[in-house]
Structure 1
Amino acid sequence: MHNAQAILNAASAVLTERPEAGLAEVAKAAGISRKTLYTHFPSRDALINALIDRATARVVAAIEAADLETGPADQALVRLLEAGWRSFEDDPFLLHLSAAPAPAEQDRDRHAPVLEHLRRVVIRGQREGDIDPEASVDWLLAATLALGHAAGEEVRAGRMTSQQAIDALRIGIPRLIGRPSATGETSSGT
Protein backbone atom coordinates (compact mmCIF):
# COMPACT_ATOMS: atom_id res chain seq x y z
CA MET A 1 0.00 0.00 0.00
CA HIS A 2 1.29 3.43 -0.93
CA ASN A 3 1.98 5.86 1.81
CA ALA A 4 0.81 9.44 1.85
CA GLN A 5 4.26 10.77 0.84
CA ALA A 6 4.28 8.65 -2.33
CA ILE A 7 0.84 10.02 -3.20
CA LEU A 8 2.04 13.57 -2.54
CA ASN A 9 5.07 12.98 -4.78
CA ALA A 10 2.83 11.73 -7.58
CA ALA A 11 0.42 14.64 -7.06
CA SER A 12 3.26 17.14 -7.24
CA ALA A 13 4.46 15.67 -10.53
CA VAL A 14 0.96 15.54 -12.05
CA LEU A 15 0.03 19.04 -10.91
CA THR A 16 3.28 20.44 -12.25
CA GLU A 17 2.27 19.23 -15.71
CA ARG A 18 -1.46 19.91 -15.36
CA PRO A 19 -2.40 22.22 -12.44
CA GLU A 20 -6.10 21.54 -13.03
CA ALA A 21 -5.69 17.74 -12.86
CA GLY A 22 -8.17 15.82 -10.76
CA LEU A 23 -7.76 13.05 -8.26
CA ALA A 24 -8.26 10.34 -10.89
CA GLU A 25 -5.09 11.50 -12.67
CA VAL A 26 -3.18 11.64 -9.40
CA ALA A 27 -4.32 8.13 -8.46
CA LYS A 28 -3.29 6.80 -11.87
CA ALA A 29 0.16 8.42 -11.59
CA ALA A 30 0.58 6.99 -8.09
CA GLY A 31 -0.42 3.55 -9.35
CA ILE A 32 -3.35 3.26 -6.95
CA SER A 33 -7.12 3.32 -7.11
CA ARG A 34 -9.10 6.45 -6.41
CA LYS A 35 -10.54 4.66 -3.39
CA THR A 36 -7.03 4.23 -1.96
CA LEU A 37 -6.24 7.87 -2.67
CA TYR A 38 -9.48 8.94 -0.96
CA THR A 39 -8.42 6.93 2.10
CA HIS A 40 -5.50 9.34 2.51
CA PHE A 41 -7.02 12.49 0.99
CA PRO A 42 -10.81 12.70 0.97
CA SER A 43 -10.88 15.61 -1.50
CA ARG A 44 -8.73 17.54 -3.94
CA ASP A 45 -8.69 20.42 -1.43
CA ALA A 46 -7.33 18.07 1.24
CA LEU A 47 -4.62 16.88 -1.15
CA ILE A 48 -3.67 20.45 -2.13
CA ASN A 49 -3.57 21.51 1.50
CA ALA A 50 -1.32 18.55 2.34
CA LEU A 51 1.01 19.56 -0.50
CA ILE A 52 1.08 23.14 0.79
CA ASP A 53 1.76 21.92 4.34
CA ARG A 54 4.65 19.78 3.04
CA ALA A 55 6.07 22.73 1.09
CA THR A 56 5.73 24.95 4.17
CA ALA A 57 7.66 22.42 6.26
CA ARG A 58 10.40 22.37 3.62
CA VAL A 59 10.54 26.17 3.60
CA VAL A 60 10.82 26.35 7.38
CA ALA A 61 13.63 23.78 7.34
CA ALA A 62 15.46 25.76 4.63
CA ILE A 63 14.97 29.01 6.55
CA GLU A 64 16.36 27.44 9.70
CA ALA A 65 19.42 26.35 7.70
CA ALA A 66 19.91 29.81 6.12
CA ASP A 67 21.98 31.21 9.03
CA LEU A 68 19.80 34.28 9.50
CA GLU A 69 21.75 35.44 12.55
CA THR A 70 24.87 36.41 10.58
CA GLY A 71 25.55 39.25 8.21
CA PRO A 72 23.43 42.33 7.58
CA ALA A 73 19.77 41.76 8.41
CA ASP A 74 18.53 43.07 5.05
CA GLN A 75 20.62 40.40 3.35
CA ALA A 76 19.35 37.79 5.85
CA LEU A 77 15.80 38.67 4.75
CA VAL A 78 16.80 38.08 1.14
CA ARG A 79 18.24 34.68 2.15
CA LEU A 80 14.99 33.92 3.93
CA LEU A 81 12.91 34.68 0.83
CA GLU A 82 15.33 32.76 -1.38
CA ALA A 83 14.77 29.75 0.86
CA GLY A 84 11.07 30.12 0.18
CA TRP A 85 11.63 30.33 -3.54
CA ARG A 86 13.60 27.09 -3.45
CA SER A 87 10.38 25.33 -2.47
CA PHE A 88 9.12 26.09 -5.95
CA GLU A 89 11.98 23.99 -7.33
CA ASP A 90 10.66 21.01 -5.34
CA ASP A 91 6.99 21.76 -6.04
CA PRO A 92 6.83 24.01 -9.10
CA PHE A 93 3.08 23.54 -9.42
CA LEU A 94 2.71 25.89 -6.41
CA LEU A 95 3.44 28.83 -8.70
CA HIS A 96 0.57 27.90 -11.01
CA LEU A 97 -2.03 26.46 -8.71
CA SER A 98 -4.77 28.26 -6.92
CA ALA A 99 -4.73 26.67 -3.51
CA ALA A 100 -7.92 25.76 -1.79
CA PRO A 101 -8.82 28.55 0.57
CA ALA A 102 -7.64 27.53 3.99
CA PRO A 103 -9.45 28.59 7.13
CA ALA A 104 -7.88 31.74 8.58
CA GLU A 105 -6.56 29.88 11.62
CA GLN A 106 -4.89 27.21 9.45
CA ASP A 107 -3.39 29.91 7.23
CA ARG A 108 -1.97 31.74 10.27
CA ASP A 109 -0.60 28.50 11.69
CA ARG A 110 1.09 27.69 8.36
CA HIS A 111 2.75 31.10 8.14
CA ALA A 112 3.58 31.52 11.84
CA PRO A 113 7.06 29.90 11.74
CA VAL A 114 8.06 31.91 8.67
CA LEU A 115 6.72 35.15 10.14
CA GLU A 116 8.53 34.50 13.41
CA HIS A 117 11.84 34.14 11.57
CA LEU A 118 11.07 37.31 9.60
CA ARG A 119 10.19 39.18 12.77
CA ARG A 120 13.45 38.19 14.50
CA VAL A 121 15.53 39.30 11.51
CA VAL A 122 13.70 42.64 11.24
CA ILE A 123 14.09 43.37 14.95
CA ARG A 124 17.79 42.47 14.79
CA GLY A 125 18.19 44.67 11.72
CA GLN A 126 16.53 47.62 13.40
CA ARG A 127 18.71 47.15 16.48
CA GLU A 128 21.91 46.88 14.40
CA GLY A 129 21.02 49.69 11.99
CA ASP A 130 20.58 47.63 8.81
CA ILE A 131 16.81 48.15 8.73
CA ASP A 132 14.89 51.39 9.18
CA PRO A 133 14.30 51.66 12.95
CA GLU A 134 11.46 54.14 12.49
CA ALA A 135 9.26 51.75 10.51
CA SER A 136 6.77 49.49 12.24
CA VAL A 137 7.95 45.87 12.45
CA ASP A 138 4.51 44.68 11.33
CA TRP A 139 4.57 46.99 8.31
CA LEU A 140 8.06 45.81 7.35
CA LEU A 141 6.89 42.20 7.59
CA ALA A 142 3.81 42.91 5.48
CA ALA A 143 5.81 44.88 2.90
CA THR A 144 8.49 42.19 2.62
CA LEU A 145 5.89 39.46 2.16
CA ALA A 146 3.99 41.60 -0.35
CA LEU A 147 7.14 42.08 -2.41
CA GLY A 148 7.73 38.32 -2.35
CA HIS A 149 4.13 37.67 -3.41
CA ALA A 150 4.40 40.27 -6.18
CA ALA A 151 7.48 38.48 -7.52
CA GLY A 152 5.51 35.22 -7.42
CA GLU A 153 2.66 36.78 -9.39
CA GLU A 154 5.10 37.98 -12.05
CA VAL A 155 6.50 34.45 -12.40
CA ARG A 156 2.99 32.97 -12.44
CA ALA A 157 2.00 35.39 -15.22
CA GLY A 158 5.11 34.51 -17.24
CA ARG A 159 6.57 38.02 -17.10
CA MET A 160 9.61 36.90 -15.07
CA THR A 161 11.55 33.70 -14.55
CA SER A 162 12.10 32.43 -11.02
CA GLN A 163 15.72 33.56 -11.22
CA GLN A 164 14.67 37.06 -12.31
CA ALA A 165 12.27 37.18 -9.37
CA ILE A 166 15.02 36.21 -6.93
CA ASP A 167 17.34 38.82 -8.47
CA ALA A 168 14.62 41.47 -8.16
CA LEU A 169 14.10 40.56 -4.49
CA ARG A 170 17.86 40.83 -3.83
CA ILE A 171 17.66 44.43 -5.01
CA GLY A 172 14.17 45.39 -3.88
CA ILE A 173 14.12 44.16 -0.31
CA PRO A 174 17.17 46.10 0.92
CA ARG A 175 15.80 49.22 -0.80
CA LEU A 176 12.37 48.69 0.74
CA ILE A 177 13.47 48.17 4.32
CA GLY A 178 16.87 49.90 4.50
CA ARG A 179 17.62 52.82 6.73
CA PRO A 180 16.91 56.12 4.91
CA SER A 181 19.84 58.49 4.50
CA ALA A 182 19.65 62.25 4.79
CA THR A 183 18.91 62.44 1.03
CA GLY A 184 16.00 60.01 1.29
CA GLU A 185 17.88 57.13 -0.35
CA THR A 186 18.30 53.88 1.54
CA SER A 187 21.74 53.21 2.94
CA SER A 188 21.73 49.49 2.24
CA GLY A 189 24.57 49.63 -0.25
CA THR A 190 22.58 48.34 -3.22
Structure 2
Amino acid sequence: MTSPRGRRADATANREALLEAAQSLLAVDPHASLDAIAHAAGLSRRALYGHFADRESLMREVISQGAERFNQIAERTDDADPRVALARMAARLWREASAVRASANIALDDVHVSQTVQALAPLRRRVRAVVVAGVESGAFRGDMSSQLLSFLVERTGRATLRELRPATTDGAETVVRVVLSIVGVAWREQAALLETHPEILAAD
Protein backbone atom coordinates (compact mmCIF):
# COMPACT_ATOMS: atom_id res chain seq x y z
CA MET A 1 0.00 0.00 0.00
CA THR A 2 1.31 3.42 -0.92
CA SER A 3 1.99 5.67 2.06
CA PRO A 4 0.35 9.13 2.36
CA ARG A 5 3.74 10.70 1.67
CA GLY A 6 4.11 8.56 -1.45
CA ARG A 7 0.65 9.53 -2.65
CA ARG A 8 1.46 13.21 -2.16
CA ALA A 9 4.70 12.80 -4.09
CA ASP A 10 2.83 11.06 -6.92
CA ALA A 11 0.21 13.82 -6.96
CA THR A 12 2.90 16.49 -7.13
CA ALA A 13 4.68 14.65 -9.94
CA ASN A 14 1.42 14.26 -11.88
CA ARG A 15 0.58 17.94 -11.51
CA GLU A 16 4.04 18.92 -12.72
CA ALA A 17 3.72 16.51 -15.65
CA LEU A 18 0.38 18.06 -16.60
CA LEU A 19 1.76 21.59 -16.47
CA GLU A 20 4.83 20.59 -18.47
CA ALA A 21 2.62 18.91 -21.07
CA ALA A 22 0.35 21.96 -21.16
CA GLN A 23 3.32 24.28 -21.72
CA SER A 24 4.61 22.05 -24.50
CA LEU A 25 1.31 21.61 -26.36
CA LEU A 26 -0.05 25.12 -25.85
CA ALA A 27 3.20 26.50 -27.22
CA VAL A 28 2.25 24.94 -30.54
CA ASP A 29 -1.53 25.11 -30.30
CA PRO A 30 -3.11 27.56 -27.82
CA HIS A 31 -6.36 25.63 -28.20
CA ALA A 32 -4.99 22.16 -27.38
CA SER A 33 -7.64 20.01 -25.71
CA LEU A 34 -7.55 18.62 -22.19
CA ASP A 35 -7.51 15.11 -23.66
CA ALA A 36 -4.38 15.93 -25.65
CA ILE A 37 -2.68 17.49 -22.61
CA ALA A 38 -3.56 14.55 -20.36
CA HIS A 39 -2.32 12.09 -22.99
CA ALA A 40 0.96 13.98 -23.40
CA ALA A 41 1.43 13.83 -19.63
CA GLY A 42 0.82 10.06 -19.66
CA LEU A 43 -2.33 10.47 -17.59
CA SER A 44 -6.05 10.02 -18.06
CA ARG A 45 -8.48 12.89 -18.40
CA ARG A 46 -9.96 11.80 -15.09
CA ALA A 47 -6.54 12.15 -13.46
CA LEU A 48 -6.26 15.65 -14.93
CA TYR A 49 -9.55 16.62 -13.31
CA GLY A 50 -8.07 15.57 -10.00
CA HIS A 51 -5.76 18.59 -10.29
CA PHE A 52 -7.69 21.06 -12.43
CA ALA A 53 -11.45 21.48 -12.36
CA ASP A 54 -11.63 22.59 -15.98
CA ARG A 55 -9.58 23.96 -18.86
CA GLU A 56 -9.73 27.51 -17.53
CA SER A 57 -8.21 26.54 -14.20
CA LEU A 58 -5.34 24.89 -16.07
CA MET A 59 -4.94 28.01 -18.23
CA ARG A 60 -4.81 30.18 -15.12
CA GLU A 61 -2.01 28.06 -13.69
CA VAL A 62 -0.02 28.20 -16.94
CA ILE A 63 -0.50 31.99 -17.00
CA SER A 64 0.61 32.19 -13.38
CA GLN A 65 3.77 30.18 -14.03
CA GLY A 66 4.77 32.30 -17.00
CA ALA A 67 3.89 35.56 -15.25
CA GLU A 68 6.06 34.64 -12.29
CA ARG A 69 9.06 34.23 -14.57
CA PHE A 70 8.32 37.48 -16.42
CA ASN A 71 7.86 39.36 -13.15
CA GLN A 72 11.16 38.05 -11.80
CA ILE A 73 12.97 39.26 -14.91
CA ALA A 74 11.44 42.71 -14.50
CA GLU A 75 12.42 42.89 -10.84
CA ARG A 76 16.00 41.75 -11.52
CA THR A 77 16.63 44.11 -14.44
CA ASP A 78 17.99 47.51 -13.55
CA ASP A 79 20.56 50.09 -14.61
CA ALA A 80 21.36 53.68 -13.71
CA ASP A 81 20.57 54.56 -17.33
CA PRO A 82 16.80 54.07 -17.88
CA ARG A 83 17.41 53.51 -21.59
CA VAL A 84 19.63 50.53 -20.80
CA ALA A 85 17.25 49.25 -18.13
CA LEU A 86 14.27 49.34 -20.51
CA ALA A 87 16.26 47.81 -23.38
CA ARG A 88 17.57 44.96 -21.22
CA MET A 89 14.12 44.27 -19.87
CA ALA A 90 12.60 44.17 -23.36
CA ALA A 91 15.30 41.79 -24.67
CA ARG A 92 15.13 39.48 -21.65
CA LEU A 93 11.34 39.33 -21.71
CA TRP A 94 11.45 38.52 -25.42
CA ARG A 95 13.84 35.62 -24.84
CA GLU A 96 11.74 34.40 -21.91
CA ALA A 97 8.65 34.45 -24.12
CA SER A 98 10.47 31.97 -26.34
CA ALA A 99 11.11 29.72 -23.33
CA VAL A 100 7.52 29.80 -22.10
CA ARG A 101 5.81 30.02 -25.45
CA ALA A 102 2.53 28.70 -24.04
CA SER A 103 2.25 31.58 -21.59
CA ALA A 104 3.08 34.04 -24.36
CA ASN A 105 0.42 32.51 -26.61
CA ILE A 106 -2.18 32.74 -23.87
CA ALA A 107 -1.13 36.29 -23.02
CA LEU A 108 -1.85 37.25 -26.63
CA ASP A 109 -5.30 35.65 -26.45
CA ASP A 110 -7.86 38.40 -25.89
CA VAL A 111 -9.99 35.98 -23.85
CA HIS A 112 -7.34 35.93 -21.12
CA VAL A 113 -6.35 39.59 -21.13
CA SER A 114 -7.79 40.35 -17.68
CA GLN A 115 -6.01 37.35 -16.17
CA THR A 116 -2.66 38.19 -17.69
CA VAL A 117 -2.94 41.87 -16.77
CA GLN A 118 -3.52 40.93 -13.15
CA ALA A 119 -0.78 38.29 -13.10
CA LEU A 120 1.74 40.67 -14.66
CA ALA A 121 1.05 43.55 -12.28
CA PRO A 122 4.62 43.49 -10.83
CA LEU A 123 6.11 43.67 -14.33
CA ARG A 124 3.85 46.58 -15.24
CA ARG A 125 4.83 48.44 -12.06
CA ARG A 126 8.50 47.94 -12.89
CA VAL A 127 8.04 49.23 -16.45
CA ARG A 128 6.21 52.25 -15.05
CA ALA A 129 9.08 52.94 -12.61
CA VAL A 130 11.68 52.80 -15.40
CA VAL A 131 9.59 55.06 -17.63
CA VAL A 132 9.09 57.58 -14.82
CA ALA A 133 12.85 57.62 -14.19
CA GLY A 134 13.49 58.09 -17.90
CA VAL A 135 11.07 60.97 -18.24
CA GLU A 136 12.34 62.71 -15.09
CA SER A 137 15.97 62.40 -16.22
CA GLY A 138 15.20 63.66 -19.71
CA ALA A 139 16.29 60.39 -21.34
CA PHE A 140 12.72 59.71 -22.50
CA ARG A 141 10.24 61.97 -24.22
CA GLY A 142 8.46 64.44 -21.97
CA ASP A 143 5.55 65.43 -24.18
CA MET A 144 3.15 62.97 -22.56
CA SER A 145 2.49 61.60 -19.09
CA SER A 146 4.54 58.71 -17.72
CA GLN A 147 1.32 56.76 -17.28
CA LEU A 148 0.40 57.10 -20.95
CA LEU A 149 3.94 56.36 -22.06
CA SER A 150 4.04 53.20 -19.92
CA PHE A 151 0.73 52.13 -21.43
CA LEU A 152 2.08 52.65 -24.95
CA VAL A 153 5.21 50.63 -24.14
CA GLU A 154 3.10 47.76 -22.83
CA ARG A 155 0.65 47.76 -25.73
CA THR A 156 3.39 48.13 -28.34
CA GLY A 157 5.38 45.28 -26.82
CA ARG A 158 2.30 43.07 -26.88
CA ALA A 159 1.51 43.99 -30.49
CA THR A 160 5.10 43.34 -31.57
CA LEU A 161 5.04 39.95 -29.87
CA ARG A 162 1.81 39.11 -31.66
CA GLU A 163 3.24 40.01 -35.06
CA LEU A 164 6.82 38.70 -34.85
CA ARG A 165 6.63 35.74 -32.47
CA PRO A 166 9.77 34.82 -30.51
CA ALA A 167 11.07 32.45 -33.19
CA THR A 168 12.13 35.49 -35.24
CA THR A 169 15.93 35.58 -35.49
CA ASP A 170 16.32 39.30 -34.84
CA GLY A 171 13.21 39.55 -32.69
CA ALA A 172 14.98 40.76 -29.54
CA GLU A 173 16.66 43.65 -31.34
CA THR A 174 13.42 44.58 -33.09
CA VAL A 175 11.52 44.66 -29.80
CA VAL A 176 14.25 46.72 -28.13
CA ARG A 177 14.30 49.24 -30.97
CA VAL A 178 10.51 49.52 -31.10
CA VAL A 179 10.21 50.06 -27.35
CA LEU A 180 13.01 52.64 -27.30
CA SER A 181 11.39 54.44 -30.21
CA ILE A 182 8.13 54.67 -28.29
CA VAL A 183 9.85 56.42 -25.36
CA GLY A 184 11.55 58.87 -27.70
CA VAL A 185 15.05 57.47 -28.16
CA ALA A 186 16.18 58.31 -31.71
CA TRP A 187 17.42 55.50 -33.94
CA ARG A 188 21.00 56.80 -34.05
CA GLU A 189 21.01 57.01 -30.27
CA GLN A 190 19.67 53.44 -30.16
CA ALA A 191 22.48 52.23 -32.42
CA ALA A 192 25.09 53.88 -30.21
CA LEU A 193 23.47 52.46 -27.09
CA LEU A 194 23.47 48.90 -28.45
CA GLU A 195 27.06 49.25 -29.62
CA THR A 196 28.13 50.46 -26.19
CA HIS A 197 26.11 47.78 -24.42
CA PRO A 198 26.32 44.63 -26.61
CA GLU A 199 25.23 42.54 -23.58
CA ILE A 200 21.68 43.85 -24.07
CA LEU A 201 21.18 41.58 -27.07
CA ALA A 202 23.48 38.80 -25.90
CA ALA A 203 21.88 35.71 -24.44
CA ASP A 204 22.09 35.64 -20.65
Identical amino acids, percent of aligned pairs: 24
> TM-score w.r.t. structure 2 length?
0.75
Deviation of the 1:102 alpha carbon: 4.2
Say yes or no: does 1:189 pair with 2:199.
no
d(CA) in 1 for partners of 2:104, 2:69: 16
Cα deviation, 1:139-187, whole Å, max 9, x if unaligned, reads: 111111122112112124xxx84343321122222222126xxxxxx48
2:21–2:37: 8 Å Cα contact kept in structure 1?
yes
Q: How many residues align?
A: 178
Structure 1 residue aligned with 2:64: 53
Q: Which has the higher helix share?
A: 2
CA distance in 2, matches of 1:15, 1:108: 19
Pairing of 1:95-134 with structure 2 (within 5 A): 95-97=104-106, 99=109, 101-102=111-112, 104=114, 106-134=115-143
What TM-score do you get using the length of structure 1 for normalisation? 0.80
From 65, 80, 92, the equivalent of 1:83 is 92
Q: Supply the RMSD in Å over aligned alpha carbons.
A: 2.5
1:164 equivalent among 158, 170, 184: 170
Q: Deviations over 1:65-99 (max 9, x none)?
A: 22x2x142122112222232233222223444564
Distance 1:28 1:187, change over 3 A: closer
The unaligned stretches of length 5 or more in structure 1 are 180-185
Structure with the greater relative contact order (CA < 8 A, sep ≥ 6): 1 or 2? 2
For 1:10, the equivalent position in structure 2 comes to 21
Runs (4 or more) in structure 1 with deviation over 4 Å come to 95-100
**Structure-2 separation of matches of 1:55 and 1:37:** 20
Question: Contact 2:90–2:176 at 8 Å: present in 1 too?
Answer: no
What is the correspondence of 1:128-147 to structure 2 with a 5 Å cutoff? 128-147=137-156
